[in-house]
Structure 1
Amino acid sequence: MTDETRPDEGRTPSDLPEPQRPDFLPADEQRTTGDPQDRAQTEQLVWSSAAEPQPGSRPTFESPSGWGDPSGRSGDTAIFSSPDGGPRGGYGSGAPSPGGYGSGAPGSGGYSSGAPGSGGSGQVYGDASFGDSGFFSGPGNGSGHGGSGAGFGGPPPPPPGQALGLGAGWAPPPPPSGGGGAGGARRTPGTGVLVVLAIVIALVASTLGSVGTYLLTGSRSGTDPSFSLGPAPAGNTVRAPDSVAGVASRVLPSVVSLEVESGADGGTGSGFLIKGGYVVTNNHVVAMAAQGGEIQIVFNNRKSTTGRIVGTDPGSDLAVVKPEETFGTPEITLGNSDEVVVGDPVIAIGSPLGLSGTVTTGIVSSLNRPVRAGEANDPDPAFISAIQTDAAINPGNSGGPLVNARGEVVGVNSAIATLSRAVNGQSGSIGLGFAIPVNQARRVAEEIVTTGKARRSRIGVVLDQSFRGEGIRIASQPSEGRQPVEPNGPAGKAGLKAGDVIVEMDGLKLQDGDELIALIRSKAPGSKINLTYKRGSQEKTVTVTVEAETEPTPTPTRS
């Protein structure tokens, strides 16, 4: 520490003015600023603490490169002046000078460089006892810093780890302008800078907190408060007339739902409105109402009314119902089932499971598929030469229309094939639906509306149900009072006999008796068909005119 920063205890204040800081100028060089670190190094004085001072010896005061002056030079020294301007002694003067530096004689109060006045290294600080040193004497004893005042006496204090200057003149030089030395004063930031720094820290902390909250909560829960899919694109509901939507929009208003109740039993089905305000449906949909039940007809506009049965045909599974009111419902357009080919697109419309207005699509999978509709123990099942489709048909679709791409009815949905049948349960669609050809439905509906009943087509033969060979064999023996071939029936008139095997009808190979019956019933009475049969080794083809089945005439009982 410098003299002015030393504690007051143990020393006397000086009345002399503060000495000026000496300039250490080499005699043979110009003064340069240099690096502050180098300058500090050249001015640094260190105490040698290699060993403790021995009694009788003088403590040594060394610089890294010898004594001389603080710049490190040996021999060439600067002169310190006394406060009053006179010389106070110097470094390396051989003559003792009271109060000066460089007195080599013991007790002279000066620093000696080697021998007195030699200016060499190994400076001596008074004598070992400090008894005759005037360096620390008061201002009245001697002149300058020397004098002959009494010393402190006793052993000297342990040397410090690093020598310090001897007053204000020995203080470290100020740092260079613009530099930031270790001893330079630190500049304290202003209030405005601190406020801006606080705002920046707050903004960064807020941003990091928001990001952290999103990463910890938003990403885990999958929610994002700012998420938006944007508005729905603009569009319209207009569709091409030949599209499924266009066809459905034209056909749906003519399709109805039927709710049938008879006592505790009930069921639902579908139908479509034809000319005259009549509704065509399946016989099995309204069968329970024939015994005194009630039929409720619900239109596509959700208006409803009651209906009554006009007539039924169990053999073709068709029926006609007359609603009390139609509410302006348009009639549907009937097509031609003879023009349907496999692969044509079709649309099934109805009320599966009571879901009115259901539309499904598919294609025609097959034609002339023989289907026996009804229960297994039904004494008078329906035989249908059906149109097969993969359009979904489920319970409740029965009686609804199967339409083509022009919206024309080509069939009446009637049956589905299932993998199994549960007791008192129904199975859904597996892509095997069957519809009655519309040409057959047209004829049956006309007959029911005009006469109240439909004629059933026949050729007058009894088939052998036990035959398992190719084709269908005519029975050889009478069955239930009927001859295998009626003598005056259509087949008998064409020359067929008992035991003949019918193998084709209109060029179509026959697989079983159900197929032959279904094909014949699909024909109108009076239609002509070509049958190919085998008798022994001969094969012949004959033309048969289909006729209507006659109802038995009631015979009065005898009393």
Structure 2
Amino acid sequence: MSDAQFPQHGGSQAPQPGSPDPYQHATTAWPGGGSGGGTGTEERPAPRRRRTGLAAAVVATSLLVGGGAGLGGAALWDATHEDPASSASTQGPTTSTVSQTQAPAADGSVESVAQKVLPSVVKIDVTGSQGSASGSGIILTADGTILTNNHVVEMAEDGGSLKVSFDDGSSADAEILGTDPLTDTAVIKAQDVSDLTPATIGKSANLGVGEGVVAIGSPFGLDATVTSGIVSALNRPVNVGSDDQGNSTTYPAIQTDAAINPGNSGGPLVDMTGAVIGINSSIRTAASQSPYGSSSESGSIGLGFAIPIDEVMPIVDQMAQGETPTHARLGITVGNPQSGDDAGAVVREVTSGSTADKAGLASGSVITKIDDQRITDADSLVATIRSYRPGDSVTVTWTSNGEEQSADLVLDSDATSSTS
């Protein structure tokens, strides 16, 4: 399996001298619903960038070298010599220039999207007992309610602090209103602010593969960065770890080739009208990484993943109101089929009295479809169920002893057992 990371800048501790880099530990994905046995897609929190002088120097050096190379030394010359206008009389004829004003951005262009969305995106700096880091966030209300990833702010949960930086250069302290590890979302509130520009929330259900999208955030701490691309795939099961109870953080991701890097986590993925259709949350990398260290901090290779906004807005509303988030459940634990077996999610255990138990699912059954969504493995099932809400009715199709069966059932809620 290839490694992947959360594309946030946030939630990492500073390394100790002589120790392996702790920012890029692999978090192995496993099927949700309690436990599981599959391997699935291995996604990870994007590496959380160190806030050290060395790291800052590396970024600054990279920018300088890149600028010098790209301009053939002209930028460096301008910075170290007198204004050439002062010696124009000795340099022969000069060419006059005409000042031009910037043309209005065309509707539907990346430029117009950036102008609309940038005021609604923030940089989040996090400080905790393990160090400091940063990520991105999406303004939801004019008085400072902000949506981001759980893995961006989790370092601040035990006595840490949050500072939010806005597009106009101002900043404010913030507090956590709620976190949900199962969907990797969190809601925070900036203090003593007003008249902010809330983002427009769109519909991820309306997306099509090939549609243009724009990502905005603070990759590597470079705030207000805009990248663009297309929707590469939809309903991609992405597993980035688990909560304290072993329930997996798996969601039906929007895959995009818009450049998403460490620091983008929690920022918006928007359509070409500027409406938020996803939360940038994880990236696939090509680097080989050990559980506790890595030789490099990998960036975008054109495989980024965003949490669909439709699936998480009910949970976001719960957190904003101070409620404990709830999630839909079948009442089973699942694993992947053995090599050579048909695709699907293999039922390992069924909770007595659960909706799955009442529908007749039993250990050994292989779930192949939820409504019209094909189920290929355990992560696929968990991601699909996470797109529903407790109380929703679904049609489950499965095979048992070679025979196909189906049943309509009402999804359970984890409200009585969830501590997230």
Question: TM-score interval w.r.t. the shorter chain?
Answer: 0.7 to 0.9
Instruction: Please say if residues 260 and 266 of structure 1, whose CA atoms lie closer than 8 Å, have aligned partners that are also in contact.
Output: yes
Pair 378,232 (structure 1): closer, same or farther in 2 beyond 3 Å: farther
Aligned-pair CA distance for 1:240 = 2.1
Query: Which structure's CA Rg is the greater one?
Result: 1
> What does residue 305 of structure 2 align with?
434
Which amino acid in 2 is paired with 1:340? L
Map residues 101-250 of structure 1 onto 2, 5 A cutoff.
225-226=91-92, 228=94, 230-232=96-98, 234-250=100-116
Map residues 65-84 of structure 1 onto 2, 5 A cutoff.
none
Which amino acid in 2 is paired with 1:273? I
Pair 341,330 (structure 1): closer, same or farther in 2 beyond 3 Å: same
Which amino acid in 1 is paired with 2:414? E
Aligned-pair CA distance for 1:515 = 1.1
Match of 2:138 among 259, 264, 272: 272
1:317 aligns with 2:189: no
Which amino acid in 2 is paired with 1:413? N
Task: Please list the CA deviations of residues 468-492 of structure 1 after superposition, one character each: whole Å capped at 9, or x if unmatched.
Answer: 422335445xxxxxxx222321212
Pair 486,227 (structure 1): closer, same or farther in 2 beyond 3 Å: farther
> What does residue 167 of structure 2 align with?
300
1:471 aligns with 2:343: yes
Map residues 479-494 of structure 1 onto 2, 5 A cutoff.
484-494=349-359
In 1, Cα distance between equivalents of 2:102 and 2:418: 64
Instruction: Please say if residues 307 and 324 of structure 1, whose CA atoms lie closer than 8 Å, have aligned partners that are also in contact.
Output: yes
In 2, Cα distance between equivalents of 1:283 and 1:258: 12
Instruction: Please say if residues 279 and 322 of structure 1, whose CA atoms lie closer than 8 Å, have aligned partners that are also in contact.
Output: yes
Map residues 448-527 of structure 1 onto 2, 5 A cutoff.
448-465=319-336, 467-468=338-339, 469-475=341-347, 484-527=349-392
Structure 1 counterpart SS, 2:201 = coil
> What does residue 45 of structure 2 align with?
none
Instruction: Please say if residues 258 and 295 of structure 1, whose CA atoms lie closer than 8 Å, have aligned partners that are also in contact.
Output: yes
Instruction: Please say if residues 352 and 358 of structure 1, whose CA atoms lie closer than 8 Å, have aligned partners that are also in contact.
Output: yes
Pair 355,264 (structure 1): closer, same or farther in 2 beyond 3 Å: same
In 2, Cα distance between equivalents of 1:278 and 1:455: 20
Aligned-pair CA distance for 1:272 = 0.8
Match of 1:407 among 251, 263, 274: 274
Task: Please list the CA deviations of residues 430-460 of structure 1 after superposition, one character each: whole Å capped at 9, or x if unmatched.
Answer: 0000000001221111011224321122101
Structure 2 counterpart SS, 1:291 = coil
Which amino acid in 2 is paired with 1:506? D
Instruction: Please say if residues 262 and 289 of structure 1, whose CA atoms lie closer than 8 Å, have aligned partners that are also in contact.
Output: yes
1:354 aligns with 2:226: no
- Does 372-381 or 451-460 show the bigger shift? 372-381
Which amino acid in 2 is paired with 1:509? R
Task: Please list the CA deviations of residues 73-118 of structure 1 after superposition, one character each: whole Å capped at 9, or x if unmatched.
Answer: xxxxxxxxxxxxxxxxxxxxxxxxxxxxxxxxxxxxxxxxxxxxxx
Structure 1 counterpart SS, 2:390 = coil
Pair 440,326 (structure 1): closer, same or farther in 2 beyond 3 Å: farther
Instruction: Please say if residues 348 and 359 of structure 1, whose CA atoms lie closer than 8 Å, have aligned partners that are also in contact.
Output: yes
Instruction: Please say if residues 144 and 194 of structure 2, whose CA atoms lie closer than 8 Å, have aligned partners that are also in contact.
Output: no
Pair 229,365 (structure 1): closer, same or farther in 2 beyond 3 Å: farther
Aligned-pair CA distance for 1:267 = 0.9
Q: Percent identity?
A: 38
1:255 aligns with 2:126: no
Instruction: Please say if residues 398 and 415 of structure 1, whose CA atoms lie closer than 8 Å, have aligned partners that are also in contact.
Output: yes
In 2, Cα distance between equivalents of 1:443 and 1:377: 22
Task: Please list the CA deviations of residues 27-67 of structure 1 after superposition, one character each: whole Å capped at 9, or x if unmatched.
Answer: xxxxxxxxxxxxxxxxxxxxxxxxxxxxxxxxxxxxxxxxx
In 2, Cα distance between equivalents of 1:320 and 1:295: 12
Match of 2:317 among 423, 446, 453: 446
In 2, Cα distance between equivalents of 1:326 and 1:525: 35
1:340 aligns with 2:212: no
TM-score by length of 2: 0.72
Pair 417,336 (structure 1): closer, same or farther in 2 beyond 3 Å: same
Pair 378,434 (structure 1): closer, same or farther in 2 beyond 3 Å: farther
Aligned-pair CA distance for 1:464 = 3.4
Note the residue ranges of structure 1 that are not aligned, 5 or more in a row: 1-223, 477-483, 555-559
In 2, Cα distance between equivalents of 1:228 and 1:552: 76
Pair 426,374 (structure 1): closer, same or farther in 2 beyond 3 Å: farther
> What does residue 402 of structure 2 align with?
537
Instruction: Please say if residues 281 and 319 of structure 1, whose CA atoms lie closer than 8 Å, have aligned partners that are also in contact.
Output: yes
Which amino acid in 1 is paired with 2:109? S
Aligned-pair CA distance for 1:351 = 0.5
How many pairs are equivalent? 324
Task: Please list the CA deviations of residues 300-356 of structure 1 after superposition, one character each: whole Å capped at 9, or x if unmatched.
Answer: 111001000001000100000011033521111101111111111100000001111
Instruction: Please say if residues 473 and 499 of structure 1, whose CA atoms lie closer than 8 Å, have aligned partners that are also in contact.
Output: no
Note the residue ranges of structure 2 that are not aligned, 5 or more in a row: 1-89
Aligned-pair CA distance for 1:493 = 2.0
Which amino acid in 2 is paired with 1:505? I
1:418 aligns with 2:285: yes
Which amino acid in 1 is paired with 2:372? G
In 2, Cα distance between equivalents of 1:534 and 1:374: 28
Task: Please list the CA deviations of residues 97-156 of structure 1 after superposition, one character each: whole Å capped at 9, or x if unmatched.
Answer: xxxxxxxxxxxxxxxxxxxxxxxxxxxxxxxxxxxxxxxxxxxxxxxxxxxxxxxxxxxx
Pair 525,264 (structure 1): closer, same or farther in 2 beyond 3 Å: closer
Task: Please list the CA deviations of residues 239-282 of structure 1 after superposition, one character each: whole Å capped at 9, or x if unmatched.
Answer: 12322111111110010000001135111100011035310000
Structure 2 counterpart SS, 1:462 = strand
Which amino acid in 1 is paired with 2:368? V
Pair 454,542 (structure 1): closer, same or farther in 2 beyond 3 Å: same
> What does residue 68 of structure 1 align with?
none
Structure 1 counterpart SS, 2:200 = coil
Instruction: Please say if residues 122 and 166 of structure 2, whose CA atoms lie closer than 8 Å, have aligned partners that are also in contact.
Output: yes
In 1, Cα distance between equivalents of 2:198 and 2:310: 17
In 1, Cα distance between equivalents of 2:298 and 2:242: 15
Instruction: Please say if residues 394 and 416 of structure 1, whose CA atoms lie closer than 8 Å, have aligned partners that are also in contact.
Output: yes
In 1, Cα distance between equivalents of 2:410 and 2:98: 64
